[in-house]
Structure 1
Amino acid sequence: MKIERQPVRVSTVIGENAGQSVLEGSVSLPVDAPEIGRLLRVRAHPVIMRYEVAEEQILIEGAVDLEALYASFHEVDGGEDTSAEVVLEERLEIGRWDRQLPFEFVLDIAGAEPGLPAKVAVSADRISYELQDDKRSVTVDLVLGFSGTVYRIDEHSLTTQATADYEVHREQRRIRLPLESVSVRGQERIQGFLAFGGRVLPQKVLSLTIRPSGEPTVRFSDGTAEIRSALTCAVLYTASEVGAAYVEWPEELVFVTTVTVPENLYKAMVSVDFSTADVQWQTIDTEEKRGMGIEATVFADLKIDQVMETAVITDLVAEEPYQVAVRKDWLLLREAVGEGRQHTLTEASLQLPAGALPIERLLLSEATARLEDVHVLGDKVAVEGVADIEIVYVGRSGETTSLTTCSWPAGIFFEIEVPVPGAEPGLERKAEVGVEKVRVDVINRETVAVELDLVTTVALSRSIELDHVVEAVEVGPPHPDPPSYTFLVLQAGDTLWKIAQRYHTQTEAILRCNKWLESESSELTPGMKLCIPRRRESKGG
């Protein structure tokens, strides 16, 4: 009888938790920046700089990046078209403060121990802000959301094959085990040219963003992964002829990088997150070219969630006249039932609230989605959620234009069904939803049409008890009159349990007769002799 065992490194969740914390602070513009005439919006981007798993908790440290979009007021000549000698002109500006608001948070996690790996995340759940009287300082109140998972990598050896020279019936159980995930980063320095055509060139670039267009492709081959994605470029800028302007170049650039990954992967869910650094640009206005030359470092963070599907042997029964003895081990495991990802297009028409300035020209649009409820049904997962929408635009009232914003908290409700084979009520679930792309078109001066490309991912799991075979050996009938002792020359693959089964004795009895063995797990060296007691010990002494 020969059995084959497959080693696996299983990711076992020890504990997870979430919490919130309030963060307050104030930031000020540098001395050479224009004063804030009117705040349009403030965005917060918390960054985790360090975390440590301690006894029953995770210690998280970081800081918040802040970005304020505002209008500055400037006195200019009224010109011939107005009776006023001097008028106030609005100009769009951006103020940025990197790592200005530090934070510390302790997240309680039952079962956490120093040295265990963890996954942590932080988000800005709510933000409120106020412009101070000096017109240069902004007070910010933030609600930060923290989440953390502490896990352990357990190494198991599962019996997946059993062979013999005779007929053996195998009882098997098919399971899907979450393995240790793989994360790797690729990066490339990219260059490009954004043609402006007949558009007015920027006098001041406020922001240049580079983001993926749609879902990237990942191709695996011989220990490598090629990540490829089209990139959309967008520029927010100002020029005296047009004031503020926003221009996009869809799928203008192509990003390709190759990273090294393990050769034997059990791919379940593959995701790529993009980010940029050291973004540079210059305006070009020649007879041959008219636009912006750009350069940036693009990072692609590839994450591979692994799930191994295998059939584990839970029992072995031989056909007569053969007999097989088996030793089993009991395991408590987390099984990955199924995963799913769904792309959904959601549309809605939104009216400007009463009192909002009618839309003259749209500049920016932004959307964030959050889940409200998750239902696990038969072979699918139904999620419900809402999306917050915000626009920045040039509004008009009579002859006067003004930079302004409008937001629709929970403005769009969505229901999405994600197919997941094997889904059923009662399973543990994790679900996330994100906005891949937002498109806003002006229907009329009081109404906008919004399209959201939503990406929903779900993963289902459950705890299972697995009683599986760890050793097996062919045994014959007991000897009717065995000798008191047998001396056996050890062979490769021998264990005390197998020897005890073959000779119808107990491992404890073998240990008592071989003082050089400390325990049942002591190493057996091939070639050495082992004394095996064959007769059962008399209870009478």
Structure 2
Amino acid sequence: MLELVKKNIHMNRWKGYATSQITLDDDFIVPDSMDDVDQIILSSGDITIDSVKVQTERVMVRGKLDFMNLFRGAEGGLQTLSGNINFEEPINVPGLDEKDYVQLGWDLEDLNTGLINSRKLSVKSIVSLKVKVETASDINAAVEVDTGGTAIDVPMVETLRRNLDVASIALRHKDTFRIKDTVTLSGNKPNIDHILWTEMKLRGVSLRPMDGKMMLDGEQLVFVIYQGEGEGAPIQWVEESIPFSGELSVPDMTEDMVPLVTVHIIHKDIEAKPDADGEMREMDMDSVLELDMKLYKEENMELLSDIYSTNRELTLQTEEALFDKILTKNMSRCKVVEKISLDQADRILQICHSEGTVKIDDTEIKEDGLHVEGVLELRILYMTSDDAQPIQSTVEDIPFHFLIEAPGINEQTVCQLNPGLEQLSAVMMGGGTVEVKATISLDLLALQPIRERIITNALESPMDLNNLQKLPGIVGYIVQPEDSLWNIAKKFHTTIDTIIATNGLTDKSVRPGDRLILVKELA
């Protein structure tokens, strides 16, 4: 009795994409404990996703916009007003099933804070939500033949095999990594009266899978504006780069897996505290990173391409299967150098901080790779000579384009791209010009779908002796251009080994025009 030995291959098929833009708009009353608002100096916001619920043909996303505004009060001092706007957004995804895997990405496209009056602010923003859907697909492909039975009735089977490189998702894992550190003021800085503004950004995060763990390292940029201690003390700022490294336990991870990981800061807090002398000269920094890990495993598989028997009739059942192959895993770096002119250049004393966000506008697959177009959204904070407006900021968009090399890429290639910012500097030049230098990281994982016909079943029946007797016992044959030893042996009811032995061949290759003696195998 002939049976096929099959291997289950767990694949994830890309099922679809969906995007949604939502506008958040709300008004906020300035608390009685704060001064009247004279001018808004800085605004920033972060999106926090609370839940993603997969339903039939739609995804329900719940989250909030956390915003912070630094403003100059009517009395001349700086104060901070923060708050949040909750949202719940259904995103229609045709064909989505509750068992599908959904990956959500988001961008804060725009954030504007306006003055309605001195006691009321208007906060508006546009949030883009991007849904990517994958569905599980299990493929059972024949990899071996088990003939079984006794020596009398064992089918005499010939097999043709082929090797295939297959990439499948081996592991999905979400985890968090905590960073805690203490920032100490330098000797030329006054003590902290109270903190006005905080920012935390990631730079140069790298991840490396190891057996049983994920290694990570990078830098966290911390920027703080604070009010100095004492009457008439000037506004101060501190900027520190805090390196971090560590590992996350992931028991099923192996070193040879190919990672695609997104990293977000989901919690951040900076609090002033006294030092050993009791003076407010230290700040405790606490942040939590969320890592959404997807790891692929490459495997070289040997599949059965064809089967026939010299003493049985075999009817093969086949179907077309779609496999993934890793076309490229490419970490590219795009250098950006730009000179921009600032308004009020004659009043700028110095640049005290710059931060940027990478936004991808478009990607296009071409013969030589993936063309990426986007902008570096740059915000520059600077000190001015105007005592009434000592801190000002400006936002500039710097376009960039880059080619990520990916040989063999085509319209069927599935590209997964994670952008990041590794380095950024903004230096004041002469004439009110600022020179901006940045390094943008573009982490690309490109999967190439491959269609392959696989054997799913083989039906066995007794050999038709009448048809067998019609075949000549021995025949001379001239090899044709489309021939291989396999199809010649199958057609003339013999085996490759018999053809090689009969004709004194040294290997399994033949050329058009070769003359062969073919001897029929007896059932």
In structure 2, the CA distance between the partners of 1:369 and 1:173, relative to structure 1 (3 Å rule), is same
CA distance in 2, matches of 1:31, 1:289: 30
CA distance in 2, matches of 1:235, 1:141: 25
Displacement after TM superposition at 1:213 (Å): 4.5
2:488 maps to what in 1? none
2:69 touches 2:82 (CA, 8 Å); kept in 1? yes
In structure 2, the CA distance between the partners of 1:219 and 1:145, relative to structure 1 (3 Å rule), is closer
CA distance in 2, matches of 1:196, 1:161: 70
1:54 touches 1:112 (CA, 8 Å); kept in 2? yes
Q: Identity of paired residues, percent?
A: 12
In structure 2, the CA distance between the partners of 1:359 and 1:6, relative to structure 1 (3 Å rule), is farther
> Where does 1:28-47 land on structure 2 (aligned, <5 Å)?
28-47=29-48
2:70 touches 2:196 (CA, 8 Å); kept in 1? no
Deviations 1:160-207 (A, max 9, x none): 456899895534363544426512213346343425233223222234
1:216 touches 1:230 (CA, 8 Å); kept in 2? no
> Where does 1:100-499 land on structure 2 (aligned, <5 Å)?
100-133=84-117, 135-160=118-143, 168=158, 170-172=160-162, 174-179=164-169, 181-188=171-178, 190-221=180-211, 223-239=212-228, 243-251=234-242, 253-263=243-253, 267-271=257-261, 273-275=263-265, 277=267, 279-285=269-275, 291-311=281-301, 313=303, 315-317=305-307, 326-332=316-322, 336-353=326-343, 358-378=347-367, 380-396=369-385, 402-408=390-396, 410=397, 412-424=398-410, 427-444=413-430, 446-461=432-447, 463-471=449-457, 477-478=463-464
Q: Aligned letter for 2:239?
A: E
1:538 maps to what in 2? none
CA distance in 2, matches of 1:329, 1:440: 59
Displacement after TM superposition at 1:38 (Å): 0.5
Q: TM-score, normalised by structure 1?
A: 0.73
Deviations 1:370-428 (A, max 9, x none): 2333232345322222222221222235x8753222222x3x22222222243245644
Q: Aligned letter for 2:428?
A: V
1:71 touches 1:403 (CA, 8 Å); kept in 2? no
Q: How many residues align?
A: 457
Deviations 1:473-512 (A, max 9, x none): 887734679xxxxxxxxxxxxxxxxxxxxxxxxxxxxxxx
CA distance in 1, matches of 2:436, 2:34: 34
Displacement after TM superposition at 1:441 (Å): 1.5
Displacement after TM superposition at 1:131 (Å): 0.8
2:213 touches 2:247 (CA, 8 Å); kept in 1? no
Q: Aligned letter for 1:457?
A: D
CA distance in 2, matches of 1:340, 1:161: 36
> Where does 1:71-86 land on structure 2 (aligned, <5 Å)?
71-74=72-75
Unaligned runs of 5+ in 2: 148-154, 468-523
Q: TM-score, normalised by structure 2?
A: 0.75
Displacement after TM superposition at 1:318 (Å): 5.7
1:18 maps to what in 2? 19
CA distance in 2, matches of 1:278, 1:400: 31
In structure 2, the CA distance between the partners of 1:190 and 1:4, relative to structure 1 (3 Å rule), is farther
Displacement after TM superposition at 1:338 (Å): 3.2
1:201 touches 1:283 (CA, 8 Å); kept in 2? no
CA distance in 1, matches of 2:278, 2:127: 50
1:66 maps to what in 2? 67
RMSD: 3.6
2:224 touches 2:237 (CA, 8 Å); kept in 1? yes
2:313 touches 2:462 (CA, 8 Å); kept in 1? yes
Displacement after TM superposition at 1:443 (Å): 1.7
2:49 touches 2:62 (CA, 8 Å); kept in 1? yes
In structure 2, the CA distance between the partners of 1:113 and 1:280, relative to structure 1 (3 Å rule), is same
